[in-house]
């Protein structure tokens, strides 16, 4: 059951790439595969690689794209993608660092908060995960990702524990 939730969460992080693509070029729909002029091709290719589960390639391409990115929104979305890829790989410290950078550029990016929440969850830092998730929910309360992570945190926090004592 835990592996199923982990797999679902990993797939969710891949879906984040589709959002970032739309943030980079808002005139391009998330379903469109056509790259219009002005879009950073490395960020687009990085988002596609992350979506496909090729996290190392996605990270490499996104980092190349960040060297060319000049718009704040473009950089914030790319950093959020890096966060998602690092979290999917289990590199929680890098994920938290890149999400924090993304939030510094755009403090209303609910996906960066939810990605960082998931990274905190993976580290077992449930209070920080909950705090970030609540911030994500203020911007997008009905987002499937927010609900999914909330369920994971709640399940973990509500898991019963047994204390065994020896009596003589």
DSSP codes, 80-113: HHHHHHHHHTT-HHHHHHHHHHHHHH-TT-HHHH
Write down the pLDDT at residue 160: 61
Write down the pLDDT at residue 161: 62
Domains of the chain, first to last: 2-26+39-156 (1.25.40.10)
Write down the pLDDT at residue 24: 41
Write down the pLDDT at residue 108: 92
Extract the tokens encoding 16. Answer: 């984040």
Supply angle C-alpha 155, 117, 125, rounded to 5: 65
Q: Are 132 and 116 in contact (CB under 8 A)?
A: yes
Give the C-alpha separation, 43 to 76, whole Å: 11
Write down the pLDDT at residue 141: 87
Q: If you compute the radius of gyration of the chain from its CA atoms, what whole number of angstroms results?
A: 17
Give the C-alpha separation, 113 to 150, whole Å: 13
Write down the pLDDT at residue 70: 86
Write down the pLDDT at residue 159: 65
The crossing angle, in degrees rounded to 10, of helices 72-88 and 55-68 is 160
- 10-residue mean pLDDT profile of the chain (168 residues): values are 47 42 37 44 93 94 93 93 95 96 95 94 93 93 89 79 70
Give the C-alpha separation, 57 to 45, whole Å: 9
């Amino acid at each position: 059951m835990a592996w199923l939730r982990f797999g679902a969460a990993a797939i969710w992080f891949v879906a984040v790439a589709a959002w970032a693509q739309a943030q980079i070029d808002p005139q391009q729909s998330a379903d469109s595969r056509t790259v219009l002029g002005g879009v950073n091709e490395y960020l687009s290719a990085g988002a596609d690689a992350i979506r496909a589960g090729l996290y190392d390639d996605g990270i490499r391409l996104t980092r190349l794209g960040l060297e060319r990115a000049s718009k704040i929104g473009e950089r914030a979305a790319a950093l959020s993608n890096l966060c998602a890829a690092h979290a999917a790989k289990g590199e929680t410290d890098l994920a938290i660092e890149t999400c924090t950078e993304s939030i510094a550029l755009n403090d209303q990016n609910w996906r960066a908060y939810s990605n960082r929440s998931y990274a905190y969850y993976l580290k077992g830092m449930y209070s920080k995960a909950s705090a970030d998730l609540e911030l994500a929910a203020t911007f997008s309360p009905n987002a499937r990702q927010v609900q999914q992570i909330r369920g994971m945190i709640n399940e973990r926090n509500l898991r019963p524990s047994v204390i065994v004592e020896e009596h003589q």
